[in-house]
């Protein structure tokens, strides 16, 4: 394979190819295990609306994947009919971006047929066939009244009173043959997920008081069942958190995942169960969360399977039993089929590595993997890099820290390590409840493969608060922002330097969301660690520089952000209590400037700030605040606002813009032949 090399110019062709990669998001085996049905989409979207494609492949034939749908519409949630001769899916093909309906498609020919109203505007979510295939259950909110539609069209809507216009998701049933639809559960409940009972007589569901994004973390989630025939609802138990992966297993128990303990969202996710037949049902934790986290649940061969994330690895495990599959990478979209005759399990999964984009594979123990797809063909012939695991103790000696170092092919030895210490981009993941893995898009917005193509190394630090290490490791983030996470990034970077991977004179740090928060801190504390190196420049994406203000401005300000802050917000603290400023870089700008003037050494390096101007998670005002601080002190900054974008950047044109800017920032401050930008006169940087 040909290395991509290092080019100082913007490689638009490569950036476009990365943007346009089809990524598998959802995979399902056919009832007989002979085929797989899956959905792909690109991470950014080109036009006004995002689109996705459904695919079908034989599980025994390499490269057999073929398109089922055109790829012109948003089509997802594909499910097999129990007969195996047709599939159901959700599509907006009637009015792209404005409609949502369930369609049935026979695999022996013919067009897809809508079985719910093709003109409905409310999104349909989480469809599932009943065990006998006669009925599909799904979630959707009530359609708006004609009067309300007319007012909105005339822009004559009344005042927006908090709580009066909430759109509660209802649990509905549609008869596949007659297309008759009925609401099974409505009322003052917002339903976030559901699962059929094994006998098809009942449906379990998660009930939340309202659809406000914070409600589950404020007032909890009730696990309920409803009798399909009578509509009678039974509340089983209430869990003080948001819940995921609702599954009603063949053993009769209901399973789900949530944090550890169950009232924390940032602890390592674990598996919980509740017995719906008990007189007084209570939920209990039964697996994961100590040294790993539960990344998904599924049923195959009559058993409950758990996708366990363990540091950089993943394992598909029988609940209370053995690991069926293990990979030293992330098992992304996945499903398992168990041969009813031999009892042998087969895995279908989206897999990738640092050098190869995601493809759909069939995995069976003792046999070579079968690659069904060719979604990475546009990058065929390119070699990006290799991956090394690095470990080191934390500065306080409490834990062992992990990191991945990605070495560009053009600068690697035969064993994949750098031929010499490399100019390095330290990319910090967000979350903090997230992790990096040995995958193609292991860093934000797939910056890693593009940066590798330019000949720079990439360091991915797994700071305390990351997932895959269990409750204790994840819980460091609660009240630890600006303390443990920042210190760990410094320790991991220093370790990469000492082991000869990273060049201490050519370092850039950046990240998105929580990664942006830590980047701001690395900027104002630059060089204060006393280890003899500094960051030449920084790139803060959708970051936070004032944690206190999140309580008032973030969509999760009184729940998730409050939990990260240690459990307190402004309205629960004494007026003189400033503990929440521990991770707030904005409060450290003046001190950094003062130290720089007194010592004659630069502290805050040149900054590239990227932020969506409609971000409600880490609001745009965070970036504006830091820009104003830098401008006040005459410090260099390139400030980029992406119009109409939220916390995650969606538009393809903005992805291309980020590739160009991030690549240029690396060329400018750690590129070959460039003088150390930190040697710039402090007087010039600080002139007002």
pLDDT digits (tens, 9 = 90+) for 568-617: 899 999 999 998 889 999 999 999 999 999 999 889 999 999 999 999 99
Name every residue whose Cβ is closer than 8 Å to that of residue 524 and which is 6 or more positions away in sequence: 585, 588, 589, 591, 592, 603, 604
**According to the model, what pLDDT value does residue 159 have?**
87
Alpha-helical runs (H) found in 454-588:
471-475, 484-498, 514-524, 547-553, 560-564
Homologous superfamily (CATH) of 131-143+166-302 is TolB, C-terminal domain (2.120.10.30)
The pTM of this model reads: 0.95
Name every residue whose Cβ is closer than 8 Å to that of residue 672 and which is 6 or more positions away in sequence: 6, 423, 455
Element (H, E) at 12: helix 12-19
**According to the model, what pLDDT value does residue 673 have?**
61
Name every residue whose Cβ is closer than 8 Å to that of residue 335 and which is 6 or more positions away in sequence: 27, 28, 29, 36, 298, 300, 347, 348, 349
Tell me the pairing of strands 35-41 and 23-29.
Answer: antiparallel
3-state SS, one letter per residue, for 33-92:
CCEEEEEEECCCECCCCCCEEEEEEECCCCCCCEECCCCCCCEEEEEECCCCCEEEEEEC
What pLDDT digit, counting tens, does each position of 100-144 carry? 999 999 999 899 999 999 999 999 999 999 999 999 999 999 999
- Segments in the chain below pLDDT 50: 1-6, 675-688
**According to the model, what pLDDT value does residue 444 have?**
83
**According to the model, what pLDDT value does residue 146 have?**
83
The Cβ of residue 542 has, within 10 Å, a number of other Cβ atoms equal to 30
For residues 654 and 376, what is the distance between their CA atoms, to the nearest angstrom? 22
**According to the model, what pLDDT value does residue 192 have?**
98
For residues 665 and 651, what is the distance between their CA atoms, to the nearest angstrom? 21
**According to the model, what pLDDT value does residue 7 have?**
53
Task: Give residue limits of the domains in the chain.
Answer: 131-143+166-302, 382-686
Domain at 382-686: CATH architecture: 3-Layer(aba) Sandwich (3.40)
For residues 514 and 518, what is the distance between their CA atoms, to the nearest angstrom? 6
For residues 663 and 667, what is the distance between their CA atoms, to the nearest angstrom? 6
**According to the model, what pLDDT value does residue 443 have?**
72
- Residues 142 and 170: beta-carbon distance below 8 Å: yes
For residues 96 and 72, what is the distance between their CA atoms, to the nearest angstrom? 9
Q: How many CA atoms lie within 13 A of 126 on its CB side?
A: 21
**According to the model, what pLDDT value does residue 367 have?**
97
């Amino acid at each position: 394979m040909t290395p991509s090399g290092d080019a100082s110019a913007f490689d638009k062709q490569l950036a476009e190819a990365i943007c346009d990669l089809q990524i598998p998001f959802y995979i399902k085996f056919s009832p007989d295990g002979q085929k797989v049905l899956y959905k792909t989409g690109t991470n950014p979207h080109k036009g006004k609306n995002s689109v996705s494609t459904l695919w079908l492949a034989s599980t025994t034939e390499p490269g057999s994947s073929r398109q089922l749908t055109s790829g012109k519409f948003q089509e997802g949630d594909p499910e097999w009919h129990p007969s195996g001769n047709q599939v159901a899916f959700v599509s907006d093909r009637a009015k792209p971006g404005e409609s949502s309906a369930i369609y049935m498609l026979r695999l022996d020919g013919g067009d897809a047929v809508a079985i719910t109203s093709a003109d409905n505007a409310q999104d349909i979510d989480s469809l599932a066939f009943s065990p006998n295939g006669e009925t599909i259950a799904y979630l959707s909110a009530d359609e708006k009244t004609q009067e309300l539609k007319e007012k909105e069209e005339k822009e004559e809507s009344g005042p927006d009173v908090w709580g009066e216009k909430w759109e509660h998701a209802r649990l509905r049933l549609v008869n596949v043959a007659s297309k008759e639809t009925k609401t099974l559960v409505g009322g003052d409940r917002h339903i976030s997920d559901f699962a059929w009972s094994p006998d098809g007589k009942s449906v379990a569901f998660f009930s939340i008081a309202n659809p406000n994004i914070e409600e589950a973390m404020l007032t909890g989630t009730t696990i309920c069942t409803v009798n399909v025939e009578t509509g009678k609802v039974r509340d089983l138990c209430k869990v003080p958190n948001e819940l995921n992966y609702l599954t009603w297993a063949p053993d009769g128990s209901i399973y789900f995942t949530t944090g550890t303990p169950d009232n924390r969202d940032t602890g390592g996710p674990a598996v919980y169960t509740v017995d719906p037949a008990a007189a007084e049902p209570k939920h209990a934790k039964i697996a994961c969360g100590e040294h790993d986290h539960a990344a998904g649940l599924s049923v195959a061969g009559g058993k409950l399977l758990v996708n366990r994330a363990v540091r950089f690895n993943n394992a598909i495990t029988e609940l209370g039993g053995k690991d069926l599959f293990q990979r030293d990478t992330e098992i992304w979209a996945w499903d398992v089929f168990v041969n009813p005759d031999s009892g042998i399990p087969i895995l279908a999964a989206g897999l990738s590595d640092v050098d190869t984009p995601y493809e759909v594979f069939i995995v069976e123990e003792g046999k070579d993997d079968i690659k069904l797809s060719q979604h990475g063909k546009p990058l065929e012939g390119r070699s990006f890099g290799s991956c090394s695991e690095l470990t080191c103790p934390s500065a306080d000696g409490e834990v062992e820290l992990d990191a991945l170092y990605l070495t560009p092919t053009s600068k690697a030895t035969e064993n994949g390590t750098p031929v010499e210490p490399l100019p390095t981009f330290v990319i910090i993941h967000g979350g903090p409840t997230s992790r990096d893995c040995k995958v193609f898009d292991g860093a934000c917005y797939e910056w890693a493969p593009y940066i590798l193509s330019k000949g720079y190394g990439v360091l991915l630090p797994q700071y305390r608060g990351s997932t895959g290490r269990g409750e204790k490791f994840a819980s460091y983030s609660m009240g630890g922002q600006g303390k443990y996470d920042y210190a760990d990034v410094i320790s991991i970077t220093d370790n990469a330097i000492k082991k000869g991977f990273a060049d201490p004179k050519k370092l850039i740090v950046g990240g998105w969301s929580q990664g942006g928060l830590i980047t701001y801190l690395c900027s104002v504390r630059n060089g204060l660690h006393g280890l003899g190196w500094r960051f030449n420049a920084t790139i803060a994406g959708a970051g936070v520089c004032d944690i206190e203000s999140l309580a008032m401005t973030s969509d999760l300000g009184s729940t998730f952000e409050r939990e990260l802050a240690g459990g307190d917000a402004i309205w629960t603290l004494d007026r003189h209590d400033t503990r929440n400023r521990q991770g707030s870089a904005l409060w450290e700008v003046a001190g950094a400037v003062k130290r720089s003037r007194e010592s004659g050494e630069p502290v805050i390096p040149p900054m590239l700030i990227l932020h969506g101007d409609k971000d409600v998670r880490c609001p745009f005002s965070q970036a504006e605040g830091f820009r104003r601080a830098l401008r006040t002190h005459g410090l260099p900054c390139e400030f980029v606002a992406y119009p109409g974008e939220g916390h995650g950047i969606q538009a393809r044109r903005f992805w291309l813009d980020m590739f160009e800017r991030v690549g240029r920032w690396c060329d400018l401050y750690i590129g070959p032949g460039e003088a150390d930008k930190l040697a710039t006169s402090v007087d010039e940087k600080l002139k007002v």
